[in-house]
Amino acid sequence: MGTIEKIAFRNLKEHKAKTLIVGILIAIGIMVLILSNSILDSAEEGSKKVFIENYTAHLLVAKKMDKGSVTAFGYESGQFGPPGGDSNPTIPQYGKVYEYLTSLKDAVAVNSETAGMGALIKFSEGMEEGAFGMFWGIDPDSYINMFPNNIEIIEGEFLKSNEQGVMLNEKVIKDIKKELGREVKVGDIITLQSMGNGIKIHEVQLKGIYKYKNGNATVMQMNLLDVESYRILAKMIVGTTDVIKVDDSDTALLDDDVDFDSMFSDDIESGYVDEDFSFDDVLGDLSQREALTKPSTGTWTFTLVMLDDINKVDRVKAQIDSWAEDNDINLEVKTWKTSAGTTGDTIKYAKIIINVFIIIVSIVTIIIIMNTLVVSIIERTSEIGTMRAIGANKFFIRRMFIAETLTIAMVFGAIGIVLGLILLFIFNRVGISFNGNILLEAIFAGEKLYPVTSIGTIINGIFVSFFIGIISSLYPVSVALRIQPIKAIQG
């Protein structure tokens, strides 16, 4: 140990009170840093798991909008608030886009969905009140292929291919019981009344009740509906573009001289109908009418792409963007970080607020430490003057005070890291409950948080300890160097 270090340790022992004050402040600051960074890292990993494995996959491909954008919850106008709206944007040239996405060598699953529709859940058309729910329209096979482990069936079974039906989230079932006072069971016929683009009513059978294994508050409001029922409620109708030919016989009934009484015989009035009479012959070919009112099989709000490696997200996104531009298709490709829409924005802003809080705490800690060290230097004026008088130059004095501050910072910083790790171990065992706070559950991706730390967080704590030691010593050292030996001795 050199002379500087020996003097530094001696001075710290001589000024135990000041050393403890500064050290405790540093230990608390580093402990808070370790805890907050670990919580943020855990929230990031939790969000990633919830987003990717439940509803965003790695990439979301949708129509590029002039205003707002399409997210995993449907169309969002860009204003803060719940997703939804009157618009139902769909993927342009869907067949071509889907074929290209399924051909990507890095894609392990491709799944198209419709989203953004809110509906009242009733049990008869005449019910005045209903529970509100948000819906994803899905193809059961591609959905379960992409998200095989994201839900837990509580009652009933998952939707089958080409089957009309609805699956309700456990949270929505509880809301129905609370708001409508009604018990719901699998097999019930449910009336859905869509809220956007006018009122549309459609009846479906409840096929299953489920919950998301890693869902947050926003996801817990979502329900699964077969895509054909969704399109009916959202008025996604094909509307055939074929030219319909009309001949004179089709318009004969429009003539003024038609005798409508002659259409109704006494036999019909008496209840007798000819056995050879066919209503189909009277109605004619209904294929054109059915084509006009058939839900479109090519209307999807977005297509999700699951990759074999999360590290390929940016490269594959750029690849799809380039393909869309070359083929003049108006597409927007979003990564899992942005496709969650306002839900993801809430998490992002919350993290910014927490980081700002950490910075403020660090600044306040540094200021308090600096003031404490300045007071200590003023009390040691005579000591500093004597050292200068017997030959200690400014460089020696600077090194001495920096050594003292760094020693305090590193020793108590290590104590703060150990305390932080002990608390993290406890929190990881018992979990941090949010007591039903929807915002916190959305931010931290669950009802409880089980924080974990990383080597990077520990290294960051050591670096911050060193940084605090250097920054905190700058001003006090400058004060010490301004002390003149003669005046210090006389004082």
Instruction: Identify the residue whose tokens are 């005070």.
Output: 401
Calculate mean pLDDT across residues 168-176.
Answer: 88
162 shares a domain with 86: yes
260 shares a domain with 196: no
Percentage of the chain beyond pLDDT 90 is 24
Between residues 74 and 107, which one has the greater pLDDT? 107
Lookup: tokens for 39: 């919580």
pTM: 0.66
Q: Is residue 468 part of a domain?
A: yes
Query: Measuring CA to CA, which residue among 293, 291, 285, 292 is closest to residue 249?
Result: 285
CB 439 within 8 A of CB 41: no
For residues 154 and 394, give the distance between their C-alpha atoms in angstroms, rounded to a whole number: 75
Question: Which residues 6+ apart lie within 8 Å of 387 measured at CB?
Answer: 396, 397
- When the pLDDT of each residue in the chain is averaged and rounded to a whole number, the result is 78
The last residue of a domain, from among 280, 313, 335: 335
What is the amino acid identity at position 257? D
Give per-residue pLDDT as tens, 235-260. Answer: 776 444 444 555 665 555 555 565 65
CA distances from 103 to 100, 125, 302, 315, 353 (A): 5, 45, 17, 16, 42
DSSP-derived pairing of the beta strands 222-226 and 131-138: parallel
Look at residue 457 and tell me whether its pLDDT is greater than 50.
Answer: yes
The last residue of a domain, from among 292, 312, 327: 292
Q: Where are the beta strands (DSSP E) in 174-313?
A: 189-194, 200-212, 222-226, 302-307
Question: Which residues 6+ apart lie within 8 Å of 319 measured at CB?
Answer: 104
Calculate mean pLDDT across residues 23-31.
Answer: 84
196 shares a domain with 105: yes
358 shares a domain with 320: no
User: What does the DSSP 8-state code read for residue 56?
Assistant: I
Give per-residue pLDDT as tens, 28-44. Answer: 888 888 888 888 777 77
pLDDT at position 159: 93
> For the chain, what is the domain count?
3
For the ranges 90-104, 275-289, 334-348, 432-446, the lowest mean pLDDT is seen at 275-289
pLDDT at position 261: 62
For residues 194 and 228, give the distance between their C-alpha atoms in angstroms, rounded to a whole number: 14
What is the amino acid identity at position 457? T
18 shares a domain with 89: no
Look at residue 88 and tell me whether its pLDDT is greater than 60.
Answer: yes
Between residues 217 and 42, which one has the greater pLDDT? 42
Q: Is residue 204 part of a domain?
A: yes
Q: Is residue 12 part of a domain?
A: yes
CB 341 within 8 A of CB 72: yes
Calculate mean pLDDT across residues 75-82.
Answer: 56
Look at residue 234 and tell me whether its pLDDT is greater than 60.
Answer: yes
Instruction: Identify the residue whose tokens are 């943020």.
Output: 40
Phi, psi of 226 (to 5 degrees): -60, 145
Calculate mean pLDDT across residues 456-469.
Answer: 83
CA distances from 485 to 228, 290, 476 (A): 90, 102, 17
pLDDT at position 81: 41
Q: Is residue 87 part of a domain?
A: yes
pLDDT at position 198: 65
For residues 422 and 416, give the distance between their C-alpha atoms in angstroms, rounded to a whole number: 10
363 shares a domain with 219: no
Give per-residue pLDDT as tens, 142-167. Answer: 999 999 988 889 999 999 988 899 99
For residues 385 and 399, give the distance between their C-alpha atoms in angstroms, rounded to a whole number: 16
Supply the range of the domain harboring residue 277: 248-292
Look at residue 1 and tell me whether its pLDDT is greater than 90.
Answer: no
82 shares a domain with 219: yes
459 shares a domain with 316: no
The last residue of a domain, from among 335, 362, 386: 335
408 shares a domain with 387: yes
167 shares a domain with 302: yes
Percentage of the chain beyond pLDDT 70 is 74
Give per-residue pLDDT as tens, 94-146. Answer: 999 999 999 999 999 999 999 878 888 888 766 667 788 889 999 999 999 99
90 shares a domain with 15: no
Structure confidence at residue 85 as a pLDDT band (50, 70, 90): very low
pLDDT at position 226: 93
Q: Is residue 360 part of a domain?
A: yes
321 shares a domain with 285: no
Look at residue 330 and tell me whether its pLDDT is greater than 90.
Answer: yes
Q: Is residue 340 part of a domain?
A: no
pLDDT at position 441: 66
